[in-house]
Chains A and B, each alone.
Chain A
């Protein structure tokens, strides 16, 4: 493999990391409040608002059931509005974020629903406001699960990012298709797959480690 190819792989890796990092960050920022709302707005819950809960739930489900490659094409006008263009790595961040946000929201919702209801009761009993209950009880108690869920989301994003080559987004997936597949360069394909495996392994191990470090439910040895 020539140095040139090595450089291309390195640059594609950076592109992938860039897209995934930005998309994951924005998706977390948007998905966290969304997930908290979904987990706390059912009938008789902290911010009870069953109708809005159902509407947002439906939107989340609709987004999640659209195949990613179709979503990418379908929201091109929206992408153009946000990024100024619909082509390129920066523009690819938009569909990645749109796809990841509802995913993250559901992950956060599930993590928060796992928190023992007795803790919410105890927090109400000490005179905590609903917002304080979210900030001081629900999110901190769900944090290890949230971290594991976000790890899962990042791994999924790595997979999604391979598809944005379709709209001119760069990254490892695009490289694999254009060099490895279309130009019959199996060594490039192999390199791309190896880099992806290493990335996924790295993200997963990092997430596991962080979640374990944060989790205080098991006694220290």
Chain B
């Protein structure tokens, strides 16, 4: 990877902030000044080994292969996003983590324990260490906000005093202290999801599963819930596994992502890598709008593989890191003697890291020149030639 060379960018978001500070000359943040005592050893907290899930259909419906040979690992501290279209199997996948669904084959390790053969009774203990929130919140309508958050503690047999001690700070964390005696029907969607988050955190879990947690919310509320989840991850050190069909959710808070299609994971890795260098068409279609590397349709149709003497090369240029996009464009334009067209592009951040993605055209012979590639290397930018136009 051109940006960092031999050094690996840390996947842990907390480390990433520190990494950004060192490598990107950003002002030092307060939180990096106080030594964090948490362990950042990259130990896997959830592992899927060759997991498949088949639903036995009835009659003519036949078998449904919801998941096939799924492998991935979520490390402690990760915000792991799983993205796919509806019906891709992501809902089944997340429900396998806490045993709401049982795998047909394969092993599922949670905190090192293989839960794939656990009985419903045996699952009770691990479930108390795995919080879960839902698209439709699933709050008890007949319980107040306070009592909803208290439910997991009641179920775990905690004392009244313990429950009182635990619930109040959680309500404060999610910003609902003033709603403690309200019923869910009296809350907005965002507030309901905050109650869901407080409830999921009440037993102090290591992992939080988010099942399309923001899909029923408007964009503004979505941002505030995502910010809260990110906070929960950083301040409480809770690892998060989320499923979504919305790529902005992945962009906003995940550090790792898996793309799922028709029951298979087609691509996975660090969000920045997967976004900027997608290798699967599904991934490309998901990330194109975010990275600015989506080829305009009229261009796509006219692309050729062979260059003529007068052809222009269509380039996809990706740069991540601290370089200025305007400086990159100026430099490339200079090398191309002013003959650089930026066709579309995007500048922004992914997982808190700045990037720029450009689709540009230059004369074919410029694209192949040493000077042009040297200029790109200067900015640690990568280029792929998508094709040529006459």
A interface with B by C-beta (< 8 Å): 116, 118-119, 121-130, 132, 136-137, 140-141, 143, 214-220
B186 on interface, CB distance cutoff 8 Å: yes
Q: Separation in Å of the B215 CB from the closest CB of chain A?
A: 14
**Complex Cα distance A119/B139, Å?**
7
**Complex Cα distance A127/B155, Å?**
7
Interchain residue pairs with CB less than 8 A apart (20): A118-B134, A118-B138, A119-B140, A121-B138, A122-B132, A122-B139, A126-B131, A126-B199, A127-B123, A127-B125, A127-B127, A127-B203, A128-B124, A129-B155, A140-B142, A214-B142, A216-B185, A217-B141, A217-B142, A219-B186
Q: Is the CB of B100 within 8 A of A126?
A: no
B143 on interface, CB distance cutoff 8 Å: yes
> Which residue of A is nearest B156, CB measured?
A127
From the candidates A116, A136, A143, A220, name the one contacting B138 in the complex (CB within 8 A): A116
Q: Is the CB of B151 within 8 A of A136?
A: yes
B154 on interface, CB distance cutoff 8 Å: yes
Q: Separation in Å of the B323 CB from the closest CB of chain A?
A: 45
A126-B152 in contact given A119-B138, A140-B143, A216-B141 (Cβ < 8 Å): yes
Q: Is the CB of B143 within 8 A of A126?
A: no
Q: Is the CB of B138 within 8 A of A132?
A: no
* Across the A-B interface, the 6 shortest Cβ-Cβ residue pairs: A122-B138, A127-B127, A126-B152, A127-B128, A216-B183, A118-B138
Q: Is the CB of A121 within 8 A of B142?
A: no
Q: Which residues of B contact A123 (CB under 8 A)?
A: 151, 155
Q: Is the CB of A219 within 8 A of B185?
A: yes
**Complex Cα distance A124/B139, Å?**
13
Q: Is the CB of A128 within 8 A of B138?
A: no
Q: Separation in Å of the B108 CB from the closest CB of chain A?
A: 15
**Complex Cα distance A136/B125, Å?**
18
**Complex Cα distance A97/B130, Å?**
46
B234 on interface, CB distance cutoff 8 Å: no
> Which residue of B is nearest A126, CB measured?
B152
B interface with A by C-beta (< 8 Å): 98, 100, 120-121, 123-125, 127-128, 130-132, 134, 136, 138-143, 151-152, 154-156, 183-186, 199-200, 203, 209
Q: A124-B120, A216-B184 are in contact. List 20 more A-B contacts (CB 8 A).
A: A118-B134, A118-B138, A119-B140, A121-B100, A122-B132, A122-B134, A125-B132, A126-B132, A127-B124, A127-B128, A129-B124, A130-B120, A132-B155, A136-B151, A140-B143, A215-B142, A216-B141, A216-B143, A216-B183, A218-B185
**Complex Cα distance A116/B184, Å?**
14
**Complex Cα distance A34/B163, Å?**
33
**Complex Cα distance A137/B203, Å?**
18
Q: Which residues of B contact A214 (CB under 8 A)?
A: 142
Q: Is the CB of B138 within 8 A of A141?
A: no
Q: Which residues of A contact B125 (CB under 8 A)?
A: 127
Q: Separation in Å of the A144 CB from the closest CB of chain B?
A: 8
Q: Which residues of A contact B184 (CB under 8 A)?
A: 216
**Complex Cα distance A129/B156, Å?**
10
Q: Which residues of B contact A129 (CB under 8 A)?
A: 121, 124, 155
**Complex Cα distance A3/B154, Å?**
58
Q: Which residues of A contact B142 (CB under 8 A)?
A: 140-141, 143, 214-217
**Complex Cα distance A119/B209, Å?**
16
A141-B186 in contact given A125-B132, A136-B155 (Cβ < 8 Å): no
From the candidates B127, B140, B199, name the one contacting A124 in the complex (CB within 8 A): B127
A126-B151 in contact given A140-B142, A217-B141, A218-B185 (Cβ < 8 Å): yes
Q: Is the CB of B134 within 8 A of A126?
A: no
Q: Separation in Å of the B211 CB from the closest CB of chain A?
A: 9
Q: Separation in Å of the B380 CB from the closest CB of chain A?
A: 44
**Complex Cα distance A41/B132, Å?**
26
